[in-house]
Amino acid sequence: MRNTINALVPNPSEPIARVYMPRPSRHPNIFRKRIERAEGNPQPGDWVAVYATDMDPNENHNKHEPVLFGYGIYNPRSEVAVRLYFWQTQLPTLADWDTLLSQAVHLRHHTLQIPKTTNAYRVLHGESDGFPGLVVDRYGDCLSAEVFSFGMAQRATEILDRLHPLLGTKHSLVRPSPQFTSQEGGIWQDSKSENFPAYVTIEENQVKYRIHFGTGHKTGFFCDQRENRAILASHAAGKSVLDVCCYSGGFSVAAAKSGQASEVVGVDLDEEALVMAKKNADINDVRVRYVHADAFAYMRDMARNNKQFDIVVLDPPKLIRSRTELEEGTRKHIDLNRLAIQLVKPGGILLTCCCAGLLDGPSFMQVVQSAARATGTNSDGTKTRGRVVQIFETRSAAMDHPVATHCPETGYLKAYWCRIL
């Protein structure tokens, strides 16, 4: 599969393929195993009309007559064979897409008024905004999109073109997710608009960050932690701060610049990320000591040396990408939290985060409970005792990452603010 463009809306003069499943679904992602059959030979990326074959007689339908309930985009090579976009009986139109885009922008600009504090935020949050398989972040006058489905990869550029007039942006970048090929059964290359910049400098709560588009995770920056960065700054004055898995310095630079922390250390294994972190510290004229090290090894060394900090931020990358990784990834989260807890001074603060959607809230709470109870061994052979952990605030992703009740997986981020005794 190559970068060919499929229509943003079905052609009303051509027949549309059909997909049949037992019951209507409000969830936008329909897995292959739920589909009874497909008619019309739909190809990857094609529009399909979705029918339910086993309607409830109490809903005044003929149980033996399939009922059209929505339209989606098909990919038989993916486990998510259909992604639903419109729950309606009439063919989707460009006006339908424009309504979704306007609603998404209205939430960010009018309801949340995010542009008052930053020019970097999530504009489209996948299923929550009606765009399964697509997320779009704004960085200044650039839109950076990450695609998770073949159908959205084909249509993302046109969607961004329709977003620009609503936002006043002018540059576009579309990148496939890291698991795109394995999950969607095809190859997709990055695409960008003409004269797309190599980097852009954004501002968030009076802190500047340089976003480099050629490297890095996700769309270039972690907008989902914006509110937690502001909370960190409110606690950091005169304090020592350790930022574990610091990536490009989001937390560490905020602690030094807005928070006026007395000491800030950032740790990451990614050398390119540390280069970006150091540049971010420089453009804010703050001093942060960045350490190129494995998080586990660094925290063990600090524990052996009895080094502790007033505040520890633990925000690891996604450690669980599939159900086969759930057990091992959970153990890693427990080990990371156990080490982080030991590095917090008595009465100090730990911010611990998990961005793995497969590790739900109750399970992450169990991770923190297990880490708090766990013991370790000091360099002199003595045992460390478990610590008392008080969670004083529970947060999720920033408000521009809404959670759809019909697709709770959109609420992936868990963040606990804790006092460690």
So what's the pLDDT on residue 56?
60
Please identify, among 140, 175, 197, the residue that sits at the C-terminal boundary of a domain: 197
Q: How many domains does the chain have?
A: 3
Pairing of strands 289-292, 309-314: unpaired
Residues 211 and 297 in one domain: yes
Higher pLDDT, 59 or 199: 199
So what's the pLDDT on residue 2?
36
Residues 189 and 215 in one domain: no
**What is the C-alpha separation between 30 and 26, in angstroms, rounded?**
10
Residues 138 and 73 in one domain: no
Residues 190 and 337 in one domain: no
The overall longest dimension of the chain from CA atoms, in Å, is 79
Residues 265 and 340 in one domain: yes
The CATH number of the domain where 161 resides is what? 3.30.750.80
Residue 3 placed within a domain:
no
Please identify, among 143, 176, 197, the residue that sits at the C-terminal boundary of a domain: 197
Residues 374 and 325 in one domain: yes
The CATH number of the domain where 26 resides is what? 2.30.130.10
Note the pLDDT tens digit of each residue in 323-379.
899 999 999 999 999 999 999 999 999 999 999 988 999 999 999 999 999 865 554
Note the pLDDT tens digit of each residue in 391-402.
999 999 999 999
Residue 379 placed within a domain:
yes
Residues 148 and 220 in one domain: no
Across 144-160, average pLDDT: 96
**What is the C-alpha separation between 213 and 110, in angstroms, rounded?**
28
Please identify, among 172, 197, 222, the residue that sits at the C-terminal boundary of a domain: 197
One-letter amino acid at 230 equals A
**pLDDT confidence tier of residue 288, bands split at 50, 70 and 90:** very high
Residue 320 placed within a domain:
yes
Residues 244 and 341 in one domain: yes
In the numeric block, the tokens 């970048």 are attached to 173
Residue 227 placed within a domain:
yes
Note the pLDDT tens digit of each residue in 198-225.
999 999 999 999 999 866 566 679 999 9
Residue 5 placed within a domain:
no
Residue 185 placed within a domain:
yes
**What is the C-alpha separation between 280 and 286, in angstroms, rounded?**
9
**What is the C-alpha separation between 18 and 275, in angstroms, rounded?**
51
Q: Where are the alpha helices (DSSP H) in 236-391?
A: 250-257, 271-283, 295-304, 326-342, 361-373
**What is the C-alpha separation between 106 and 112, in angstroms, rounded?**
8
- Closest C-alpha to 108, from 156, 132, 147, 143: 143
**What is the C-alpha separation between 258 and 276, in angstroms, rounded?**
19
Residues 247 and 136 in one domain: no
The CATH number of the domain where 286 resides is what? 3.40.50.150
Q: Where are the alpha helices (DSSP H) in 258-294?
A: 271-283
Residues 188 and 220 in one domain: no
Listing DSSP states for 62-122 in one string gives: -TTS-EEEEEEEE-TTSSEEEEEEE-SSSPP-HHHHHHHHHHHHHIIIIIS-GGGTBSEEE
Residues 273 and 404 in one domain: yes
Residue 4 placed within a domain:
no
**Bridge partners for 136 per DSSP:** 124, 145
Query: Could you tell me the residue range of the domain that residue 56 belongs to?
Result: 17-86
**What is the C-alpha separation between 303 and 331, in angstroms, rounded?**
19
Residues 191 and 319 in one domain: no
Note the pLDDT tens digit of each residue in 251-268.
999 999 999 999 999 999
Q: Kindly tell me if the per-residue pLDDT of 92 is higher than 50.
A: yes
**What is the sign, positive or negative, of the torsion defined by CA atoms of 255, 260, 264, 270?**
positive
Residue 9 placed within a domain:
no
So what's the pLDDT on residue 215?
65
